Each structure stands twice: as C-alpha cells, then as structure tokens.
C-alpha cells in the first residue's frame, strides 16, 4: 500500500473519527497539523449538521473542507461549495408517512438550523449531540417552504433498518434514502450524497481518486468510499462497508483513523 500519492484525506465523523463518546482525539489534531505541513488536505464528511461538525473540529475548522448533511451542503470556511436542497413538495409528501412510524422522531434539517415536532425529552437530549442549532415547531410541513432544507433525518431508539426503512423504501425512486447508523435514517435529494460532494472538493483541489483516502463505517459513506482508491472501513463498520472498502483499520474506539494517518505521514516523511 503506497500512501505517498495521497493528497486528500476524507473522514466520516460518527463511528469513524469520533469515538463512542462523540470525542475527537488529541492525537488527531496533532496528526492534522503534520498533514497540513505536508500539503495534504482534510475533509470531514458527515450526516451531522454543519454547525455540529465545526463544533467538534473547532481548532481546525478554518483549515478544512466540511461535507455536512450527507452531502446536502459542503463548505470551506465561509465559501459554499455544494447545496442540494430537498424540494418542499417531497417534504410535504413524506413527513405524514413518517409520522405513522411508532417511536420514530423526525428532524427537518435546514441550511442554518434543524426543526423537530417531537416533545420527547429523551430524544431531544440525544438529538442535541448532533444538532446544535434547532427549534421545536408544531408542524414541520408548515415550514417546508420557508428555507432550503437539506435532509430529513429520522431516529428510532431500537433500529432504523428494521423499523423505519420498510416504511420509506417505496420512495427510493424519487428520493435518496440512506440508513446512516443503527438508529438513524436520512432522506435527501437524489443528488445529495457524500460522493457527489467529494467530487466537487476533488475537482476544486485537482485531486484524483488515486490521490484520495476515505474512512467510513455506514451506508451513507458508500458513495464517497467509491471515490477513493484508499478506501478504509472501520473495524466497527456495517458488514456492507467492510465488503466495499479496499482496506480496513481498527475501530473508532481504538484510533483506527489515526493509525492510518500516522502511516500516511511516515510514507511522506521524505517530502
């Protein structure tokens, strides 16, 4: 594995760069500075809200690319690179369906903040980890026309794959539906995925697939893993991701990303 070609590193957040406590390691920030010194770019790519990602990566937020809301939006500092909004018609069509799913909690994700109808305090406490800027409203469909909405995220306390996906799979011909974690499922515009957003970043940097390294753990990482020759699945990844990725690394709780970045830096030590 010749890592000396790599010019761009892209990492998912939850289950990948973040440990089980939702933390970024101090080691990662040290390694990032070494990558920066070698002119290797870094991009965080997540289903999280943009504000949540930059909060987690606050010390380096002005130096990195950020793909948020599963590719619904991508930015470098204040520069907007990608915006793929979900049409109000589709939002109004699917939210009534989502309300029929028992114990499911719906989040309408806007460019500047998120909106929920749920009054369930247990969900709200958990949801705040991923969405720093939010508002509780009476009816999500009533605000569908008020701004650009990038994604609908649905949470189930037991399993998104088992309890949410069967109800929404009939919409796969008109919307992008991704099981993004054990408890989360995301619905986006067809063009809004991490792979399409990553291609925009690659084009801007004039970086090829052969020069790109990507880390991921779940189905919303599939498209971006395909955009990198150096595609890594985490040890804790869904089995589908393990099959897809060209390489594997340790789990998110065992510094899986950092261990590969350390190898990358060593392979570029002559630069």
Q: DSSP letter string over 196-250? A: HHHHHHHHHHT--GGGEEEEE-SGGGHHHHTT-SEEEE-TTS-HHHHHH-SEE--
Q: Are residues 197 and 182 located together in one domain of the fold? A: no
50-86 pLDDT, tens per residue? Answer: 999 999 999 999 999 999 999 999 999 999 999 999 9
Q: Give me the DSSP letters along 46-60.
A: -SS-HHHHHHHTGGG
Residues 214 and 152 reside in one and the same domain: no
Are residues 71 and 196 both part of a single domain?
yes
**SS3 state at 116:** strand
- List the CATH number of the domain containing 203: 3.40.50.1000
Q: Do 216 and 176 reside in the same domain of the chain?
A: no
**Which positions of the chain have pLDDT values less than 50?**
271
- Structural tokens at position 179: 């099981």
| Domain final position from 137, 169, 188 | 188
The Cα 6–Cα 2 span in angstroms is: 9
Instruction: Give the pLDDT confidence of 90-121 residue by residue, as tens digits.
Output: 999 999 999 999 999 999 999 888 999 999 99
List Cβ neighbours of 259 (8 Å cut-off, separation of 6 or more).
249, 250
Query: Could you give the dihedral angle defined by the CA atoms of residues 248, 254, 257 and 258, in that order, rounded to the nearest 10 degrees?
Result: -130
Quick one: pLDDT at residue 270?
56
Q: Is the pTM of this model over 0.75?
A: yes
Evaluate whether 194 touches 67 at the Cβ level (below 8 Å).
Answer: yes
172: domain CATH number is: 3.30.1240.10
Helix (H) or strand (E) holding 32: helix 26-37
155 and 202 fall within a common domain? no
Helical axes 256-267 vs 26-37, angle rounded to 10°: 20
Strand order across the 114-116 sheet: 134-136, 114-116, 104-110, 149-156, 184-188, 176-179
**Which of 153, 188, 223 is the last residue before a domain boundary?**
188
Q: Does residue 130 sit in the same domain as residue 170?
A: yes
The answer to whether 227 touches 198, Cβ cutoff 8 Å, is yes
Q: How far apart are CA 116 and CA 100, in angstroms?
A: 15
Q: What integer pLDDT is reported at residue 111 of this predicted model? A: 84
φ, ψ of residue 212 to 5 degrees: the values are -115, 140
Can you tell me whether residue 175 is helix, strand or coil?
A: coil
Total domains in the chain come to 2
Asked if residue 94 and residue 174 are part of one domain, the reply reads: yes
Give the strand pairing for 104-110 and 114-116.
antiparallel
| 213 and 184 share one domain | no
Residue 145 burial (CB count, 10 A):
12
Looking at the structure, do residues 96 and 181 belong to the same domain, yes or no?
Answer: yes
pLDDT of residue 207: 98
The DSSP 8-state label assigned to residue 6 in this structure reads -
pLDDT at 133: 86
Domain match, 76 and 110 both: no
Q: Of 188, 215, 232, which residue constitutes the final position of a domain?
A: 188
Range of the domain at 101: 88-188
């Amino acid at each position: 594995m010749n890592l000396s070609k790599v010019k761009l590193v892209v990492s998912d957040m939850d289950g990948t760069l973040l440990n089980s406590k939702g933390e970024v390691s101090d080691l990662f920030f040290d390694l990032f500075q070494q990558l920066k010194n070698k002119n290797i770019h870094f991009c965080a790519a997540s289903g999280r809200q943009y504000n949540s990602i930059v909060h987690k990566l606050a010390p380096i937020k002005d130096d990195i690319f950020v793909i948020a809301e599963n590719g619904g939006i991508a930015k470098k500092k204040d520069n907007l690179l990608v915006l793929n909004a979900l049409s109000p018609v589709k939002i109004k069509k699917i939210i009534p369906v989502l309300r029929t799913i028992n114990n499911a909690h719906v989040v309408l994700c806007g460019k500047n903040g998120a909106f929920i109808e749920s009054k369930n305090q247990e969900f709200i406490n958990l949801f705040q980890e991923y969405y720093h800027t939010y508002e509780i409203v009476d009816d999500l469909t009533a605000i569908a026309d008020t701004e650009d909405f990038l994604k609908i995220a649905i949470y189930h306390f037991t399993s998104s794959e088992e309890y949410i996906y069967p109800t929404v799979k009939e919409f796969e011909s008109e919307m992008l539906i991704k099981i993004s974690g054990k408890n989360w499922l995301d619905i986006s515009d067809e063009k809004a995925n991490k792979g399409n957003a990553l291609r925009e970043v690659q084009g801007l940097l004039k970086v090829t697939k052969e020069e790109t390294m990507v880390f991921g753990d779940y189905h919303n990482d599939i498209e971006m893993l395909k955009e990198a020759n150096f595609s890594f699945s985490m040890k804790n990844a869904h089995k589908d991701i393990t099959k897809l990725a060209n390489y594997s690394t340790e789990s998110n709780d065992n510094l899986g990303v950092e261990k590969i970045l350390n190898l990358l830096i060593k392979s570029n030590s002559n630069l």
